[in-house]
Amino acid sequence: MKTEISQFCQEYAKILRPFDATLRESLAEIREKQDSDALKRSISGFADTHHRLNTLLDKVEDQEAFVIIFGPLKSGKSTLMNAISAAYVSEVTSLPAYPCLVHVRHDPETRIVAKKFSGETENFPDNSTMRKAIADHHAHLASHIRKIEEGGETFDPGIHYPEAIRRIDIGLPAKNLEDSYTVLVDTPGLYSRMKFGYDLMTREFRDSAACAVFVVKTDNLFLEQVFDEFNDLLNLFSRIFLVVNIDANKKDLGPDGELIPSLESQDPEKIIDAFCSLSMSAPMRNAFDEGRLHIYPIDLLHAAANSLSPESSQAGEEQASEEQVGEEGYSDITETPEQKKPSGEPFDTFLQDLTDYLNSNDYLLNFIFDSLRQGKTLTAEVRENCSADSLRDFHERQASLEYELKEERSRRSAVSSLDEQDWSNVFGEVQRGTQEATEEISRNEKKQLESKLNQIVTDWFESDESLRELLFEKIEPAFAASLKNVANQCRQKVEEMTNTAMGGVDVSPDLIRAFDKVGISLLKIRQETSASELSYSDQAWERKRNLEANAIPVRKSIWDWILFRTENKVRRRLFGNEQQWDQPIPANKKISKLGETGKAAILSQLQNILEENLPTLPVRAVEGMVKQYVEGFGEGIRTALAKAREELDRKLPLMEQRVKDNEGTLQRIERLKNNASKVEYSIAEIEKSFSHLPAPGSSEQQPSLSLEEAESESPVELEEGDDSLDEEES
């Protein structure tokens, strides 16, 4: 049987090792991608499977036997580990409240490694450092649990807090484990606040060839709550050892008031009998009757003290020199004399039964077939996490990204088409409309200004005002008011023509759709290029709006003729110094010197000014206003296009790479799925090659061999043995 196991482990490890590497590499590659959050459940599943696959591979390569120790908090689990290993392991394994598994192996030097749900590891140089770190981890874990549960979700550390510690591997000098392949596994208390720790244990050892030890104190033996989860554990493990932790020094109060030994310390078997008769559930009774459940009343404190005592160690060395010690197998955990001698002590009996089971053909067959079943379970989990249902969120994310990428490429094409347009030629309607309106405004203003100027000149002839007062206090303000009125009306017209959703742009429906595609709002550009801010200067009037005084005819009097005064001299005498024209002129003098001829000359000059500037000057000024608007609007479009182009040039390569990465992730997952199918096929082939072995617990199974018998006999010797063996024995 030992030869069969060695052959099995070699062949099985060749299959598991590359699959473990593939799963590890796939998980690392998927995690680093941007959209890994859409795969958080698959990633959590892959990480959980990889962790258990790694454990299975270690178990197969090292032919390890796991002894899982579980029970309520403070039931004596750590004390039992001290007793089994004959080493003070409880100092580093007792982690109250933190829901992680603790694996203990022999190692010449103490080493402590924490493995997280994320797959990362954390090394601790000593026990005190570990405990401090665990305390910090526990605070963070509790905080995350509260947050998730307050949100109405069930906490899953693999999804909600991958930084949580999943397992702690401890290697330390343990003489009873030194030459064995046994791994002691300390588990979270069954009724701790963080219940997922128990769920983790059941996942970790489902389909595992492991036996379990359930530890419970006598005080809790009859509490129904203690065994709530026990039926599930019966389905997990082929053999369970129930250790009832008794207190051999416990006292009760006697009738006379004296302290007397309690029933627990004096005859613990009666307590066990009462439990079996009164409190054992039907599934437990069936397992007990079938021999899958064994019960031992043990004072664990004394058992651990005996295992750790120097006398025990010295006696163990003497006993080892006298008796044959197996070179392979699992019997090494019982090499101390206390464990060998038929003393009848409950702990010795328990340890011997545990050792016998781990050395039995039944366990070894379980080791093979459970390992195969566990491998198939893990490959099925990988395929499940690669299924369309598991990847639904990721596929939806990828479809959304592909659609978004298509839209962004369409935007880039729209930007290119808009870049080719000449935006100075799309305001024809505004230019025509404002020109026509300006001409109309100018004609109307000209009529009103003509009437106003006529009245001003008439009123001036009836006053004593100087020519300067006519020009600068009457005519100039009239022209200025007229200019302001024309400017306001023209600006309002430009605003009216451009105050549309398109800002006055005359473009085709295709260009409008292109603007919408790019996300450029012409309305926003129009608002930023407001026509109300446009203006034109009135400096063009300065040169033309002043009257030419020398062009106003004056009448000479008789004295002017007698004294040979020139017409210019007569004007200066009438109007005052040249360029000032500030000489007051009485109304009668205006009539005598200027008369209707002078009045007509003044009005003629004003008419010429109006003819030269209305509507020509306002039209040119409005053209300038429209030009400013067109240039500002075009610059706004070009700026918006440049910004959109820059954004797309930056965004498109990132999106293309993101979509490409996701395609690579899907391909990686598909390859992982195919690899899992191939591994599952290879496992089935190995299972066929070992189909000649009887199923564990079947009637065809050979009687259990001792360690010496297992080592001395081989399959060949069994086939070619003595003919005197009957059929059943052969």
**What are 622-653's pLDDT values in tens digits?**
887 888 888 888 888 889 999 999 999 999 99
The domain tally of the chain equals: 2
Residues 353 and 410 in one domain: no
Report the half-sphere exposure of 61 (CA within 13 A, side-chain side).
12
> What's the pLDDT tens digit per position in 512-537?
888 899 988 888 888 887 655 555 55
For range 91-105, the mean pLDDT: 75
Task: Show Cβ contacts of residue 45 under 8 Å, excluding neighbours closer than 6 positions.
Answer: 158, 381, 384, 385, 390
Least confident of 65-79, 100-114, 316-330, 671-685: 316-330
Two tokens at 528? 């930023």
Final residue belonging to a domain, choices 330, 355, 385: 385
Residues 379 and 478 in one domain: no
pLDDT at site 189: 66
Two tokens at 60? 């197969």
Range of the domain at 557: 404-652
Bridge partners, residue 167, by sequence: 101, 115
Pairing status of strand 165-172 against strand 182-186: unpaired
Note whether residue 508 is domain-resident.
Answer: yes
Note whether residue 309 is domain-resident.
Answer: yes
Residues 377 and 419 in one domain: no
Note whether residue 718 is domain-resident.
Answer: no
Name the 3-class secondary structure at 634: helix
For range 549-561, the mean pLDDT: 86
What 3 state SS string does 305-366 have?
HHHHCHHHHHHHHHHHHHCCCCCCCCHHHHCCHHHHCCCCCHHHHHHHHHHHHHHCHHHHHH
Residues 593 and 450 in one domain: yes
Note whether residue 99 is domain-resident.
Answer: yes
> What's the pLDDT tens digit per position in 435-447?
888 888 888 888 9
Going by C-alpha positions, the residue among 543, 481, 505 that lies closest to residue 425 is 505
> What's the pLDDT tens digit per position in 367-420?
888 889 899 999 999 999 999 999 999 999 999 999 999 999 999 999 998 888
Q: Report the predicted TM-score, pTM, of the whole model to 2 decimal places.
A: 0.68
Most confident of 32-36, 344-348, 509-513, 558-562: 32-36
For range 486-492, the mean pLDDT: 82
> Could you give phi then psi for residue 65, rounded to 5 degrees?
-110, 125
Residues 479 and 363 in one domain: no
Going by C-alpha positions, the residue among 403, 353, 75 that lies closest to residue 225 is 75
Residues 264 and 355 in one domain: yes
Note whether residue 689 is domain-resident.
Answer: no
- The model's confidence at residue 540, banded by pLDDT at 50, 70 and 90, is very low
- The model's confidence at residue 697, banded by pLDDT at 50, 70 and 90, is low
Residues 486 and 558 in one domain: yes
Higher pLDDT, 146 or 624: 146
Start-end of H helices in 166-299 = 196-204, 230-236, 263-266, 268-274, 282-290
Residues 143 and 196 in one domain: yes
pLDDT at site 600: 92
Residues 381 and 425 in one domain: no
Residues 409 and 296 in one domain: no
> What's the pLDDT tens digit per position in 426-475?
788 888 888 888 888 888 888 999 999 999 999 999 999 998 898 888 98
Residues 478 and 580 in one domain: yes
**With left for phi above 0 and alpha for psi between -120 and 50, is residue 204 left, alpha or beta?**
alpha
- Give the Cα separation of 495 and 261 in Å (integer): 108
Cα-to-chain-centroid distance, residue 297: 51
Note whether residue 686 is domain-resident.
Answer: no
Quickly count: other Cβ atoms within 10 Å of residue 633's Cβ.
Answer: 25
Report whether pLDDT(154) > 60: yes
Final residue belonging to a domain, choices 626, 652, 678: 652
Final residue belonging to a domain, choices 601, 620, 652: 652
Note whether residue 572 is domain-resident.
Answer: yes
Residues 363 and 419 in one domain: no
Helix 77-85 × helix 300-308 angle, to 10°:
30
Report how far apart the first and last C-alpha atoms of the chain are (Å, whole number): 14
- The model's confidence at residue 314, banded by pLDDT at 50, 70 and 90, is very low
Task: Show Cβ contacts of residue 385 under 8 Å, excluding neighbours closer than 6 positions.
Answer: 41, 42, 45, 46, 49
Report whether pLDDT(252) > 90: no
